[in-house]
A and B are shown apart, each in its own frame.
Chain A
Amino acid sequence: MGQFILFLVLMTLGYLFGHYAEKKHYKSINKREKELLKLPVISCKNPIGNDTVAHVKLSYGSVVISVDYFKRILASLYNFFGGNIRSYETLLDRARREAILRLKESTTDADQIINLRIETSSIYKGNGNSIGSVEVLAYGTAIYFEKNEPT
């Protein structure tokens, strides 16, 4: 009985705080993505445009995000019945967008970031084999064009 109450409490806490945290995070992601729109990130090896490159720098951004208790239980139910696990989709979406934002924020004075690579790894496994938290690393080469050399 005690265990069941604990389970219920954890479910409610997870739902309330997790829902709030996700909403807040999406809001901040959307806001920062708009601000950093002027810095393009591409996954090609050559920069767009014919300007001469003056300087390059390797840059990266990473984030570790955890899923809440409620969603983990939900995901294990989905695991039983099959279908898209929406709760993990939003987790990975948030983590990837946050990692790219941090990559951009680390070099705001660059003109372009080329050859973007994204790497995902789950660093913490919970009970059984369920994903506890994922780490996403985004890295690329920041390009500075000649007319806009950093001081």
Chain B
Amino acid sequence: MLMSNIEIIPNKTIVTGFGVVSGSTVRAKHAGRDLMAGLKNIFGGELKGYTELLEESREEAIKRMISQAEQMGANAIVNVRFSTSSVAAGAAEIYVYGTAVTVE
């Protein structure tokens, strides 16, 4: 699956468009990570647990978007955008969306 966050795939022509595809995950971190984050909030510095968590959920969201595009029969996704929002304290939603197209 070709992906880009610009309107085109360079050096290729878009033949058909299928519309918007998207994937999202909502993830909560477990208590151990929460405790470490509480400590890090005193000392400052990177919260590695959270970085990993968000990375994992981002990959999961991308995977869902790709499987949706594959079902439509597309071979590329253009104009991909990410967005993060905290739904509740301790949980984050990762949303990724783009336009499924066929390129040649």
B95 to chain A, nearest CB (A): 11
In this complex, what residue of B is CB-closest to A87?
Answer: B44
Q: CB distance A71 to B86 under 8 Å?
A: no
State whether the Cβ of B30 lies closer than 8 Å to any Cβ in chain A: no
Which residues of A are found within 8 Å of B10, using beta-carbon distances? 47, 53, 56, 143
State whether the Cβ of B80 lies closer than 8 Å to any Cβ in chain A: yes
| Interface size band for B | 20 to 34
In this complex, what residue of B is CB-closest to A98?
Answer: B46
Please classify the interface of chain A as helix (H, G, I), strand (E, B), loop, or mixed, using the class held by over half of its residues: strand
A-B contact pairs, 23 of them (CB 8 A): A10-B42, A18-B45, A45-B6, A54-B11, A56-B4, A57-B3, A58-B3, A62-B54, A63-B51, A64-B51, A66-B44, A66-B47, A68-B41, A68-B45, A69-B41, A69-B44, A71-B44, A122-B86, A123-B50, A123-B84, A124-B41, A133-B40, A137-B82
Query: Which residues of A are interface residues toward B (Cβ below 8 A)?
Result: 10, 13-14, 17-18, 21-22, 25, 45, 47, 52-54, 56-58, 60, 62-69, 71, 98, 114-115, 117, 119, 121-126, 132-133, 135, 137, 139-141, 143
